[in-house]
Chain A
Amino acid sequence: MAKAFKYGLKGITGFLEPAERELLRSLFEDVISMLQPEDRGKQDPLTAMIGLDMDAREPSDRALRRLLPNVMKNDGAASLEFRQLTERSLRESKIGALRAAALDLDKDELLLTDTDARHWSMALNDIRLVLAERLDIQDEADADHVHQMQDWSQAEDVESYLALVYNFTTWLQESLVQAMLQSMEPRP
């Protein structure tokens, strides 16, 4: 079993079993491949270099739309314009955090610096957002319902398996964030 992240003298530490590391690695990689910008071939290299993407559109996939939301609630045109200016670099920074977290999975003992911990918290949050869309968690009642699912021996279909994975990543992120909040308190 994984151990909860803890903040101590060495920094933030955690422990994951090999199977848990493999699970997280594949989740991180799934979300990375979702976020990977399509290679459109004829992209103007200069605009790509400065992070512009004039072909960017609001994603049709709900999970991707949650990762890359519109910046204005009721103004599709302004949101699209903003997306063309910023979405590419947002995708890249999310991929960067997910890759950094995946690299830390090479060892079973995790020792995280502040920056590592921030990347981990972002990466865990993004995989939870994607899992939540796949589980159709729309409101707090749905979240409570999924939260009931705690027994791995009950995992008999894809949905119950996803629910268990979601609950595991939720628990892991909560313990990490508690350790990060502790690390922000002034030392006595």
Chain B
Amino acid sequence: MTLSVALGPDTQESTQTGTAVSTDALTAPDIPWNLVIWNDPVNLMSYVSYVFQSYFGYSETKANKLMMEVHRKGRSIVAHGSKEQVEQHAVAMHGYGLWATVEKATGGNSGGGKNSGPGKGKGKRG
């Protein structure tokens, strides 16, 4: 990501207030899937944070934390859910121009591990 001019977002970390709490529980046979956002040198840090806030309804603090994780670690898991849910999010992210992929939550995922409990993310359309 790129930080343009001096108007950067403030980047508080470790103070995740996380107002976004999932209300939709996964049903038993669902294998949780992750929505992964990848770093790229073009998308503005402010824009990525804006997308996380407006599409997922995340707080500014949570959106900035995820955005910084994408920037520093190269990727971040920003939502969880059924395959269909995360695929729908991925298409929406592609609509915004973010580089998003989906992956099964179990096995071989790296980065963003502390967010990877099923049902913790949510996908409210903003």
CB-contacts of A141-188 with B (<8 A): 142-143, 147, 170-171, 173-175, 177-178, 180-181, 184
Query: Which of B47, B60, B87, B95 lies in contact with A93, CB distance below 8 A?
Result: B95
Q: How far is the CA of A138 from the CA of B41 in the complex (A)?
A: 7
> Are A90 and B94 in contact, CB atoms less than 8 angstroms apart?
yes
Q: Is A82 at the interface (CB under 8 A from chain B)?
A: yes
Contact of B50 with A121 in the complex, beta carbons under 8 Å? yes
**Interface of A, helix, strand, loop or mixed by DSSP:** helix
CB pair B41 A184 closer than 8 Å: no
Asked if A67 lies at the interface with its beta carbon under 8 angstroms from chain B, I say yes
Instruction: Knowing A125-B47, A129-B42, A174-B46, say if A140 contacts B2 (CB, 8 Å).
Output: yes
| Residue among A72, A138, A177 with the highest chain B CB neighbour number at 10 A | A177
* A82–B87 touching, CB < 8 Å: yes
The residue from B2, B90, B100, B103 contacting A170, defined by CB atoms under 8 A apart: B2
Give chain B's interface residue range (CB within 8 Å of chain A): 20 to 34
Which of chain B's residues have a CB closer than 8 A to the CB of A69? 94, 99-101
Shortest CB-to-CB span from A128 to chain B, Å, is 6
Q: Is the CB of B87 within 8 A of A143?
A: no
Is the CB–CB distance between A143 and B41 below 8 Å? yes
Contact with A along B92-126 (1 / 0, CB 8 A): 00111101111100000000000000000000000
Q: How many A-B residue pairs have CB under 8 A?
A: 91
B82 located at the interface, meaning its Cβ lies under 8 Å from any Cβ of chain A in the complex:
no
Bound-complex Cα distance A184 to B51 (A): 12
Contact of A72 among B50, B95, B103 (CB under 8 A): B103
The reply to whether the CB of B54 lies closer than 8 angstroms to some CB of chain A is yes
Q: Is A129's CB under 8 angstroms from B46's CB?
A: no
Which single member of B5, B9, B96, B101 contacts A125 (CB below 8 Å)?
B96
With A67-B97, A140-B2 known to touch, is A174 a contact of B44 (CB < 8 Å)?
Answer: yes
For the complex formed, measure the closest distance between the CB of B50 and the CB atoms of chain A, giving whole angstroms.
5
Residues of B within 8 A of A175 (CB): 7
Question: Which A residues lie at the B interface, using CB under 8 A?
Answer: 66-73, 82, 86, 89-90, 93-94, 97, 118, 121-122, 125-126, 128-129, 132, 137-140, 142-143, 147, 170-171, 173-175, 177-178, 180-181, 184
* In the A-B complex, the 5 residue pairs with the closest CB atoms: A125-B97, A174-B4, A143-B41, A132-B42, A177-B46
Q: Can you list 15 A-B contacts with CB-CB less than 8 angstroms, sorted by A residue number? A: A67-B94, A67-B97, A68-B94, A69-B101, A93-B95, A97-B95, A121-B47, A125-B44, A125-B96, A128-B42, A132-B42, A137-B42, A139-B41, A147-B2, A184-B50
Mark B residues whose CB is within 8 Å of A.
2, 4-5, 7, 9, 36, 40-44, 46-47, 49-50, 53-54, 60, 87, 90-91, 94-97, 99-103
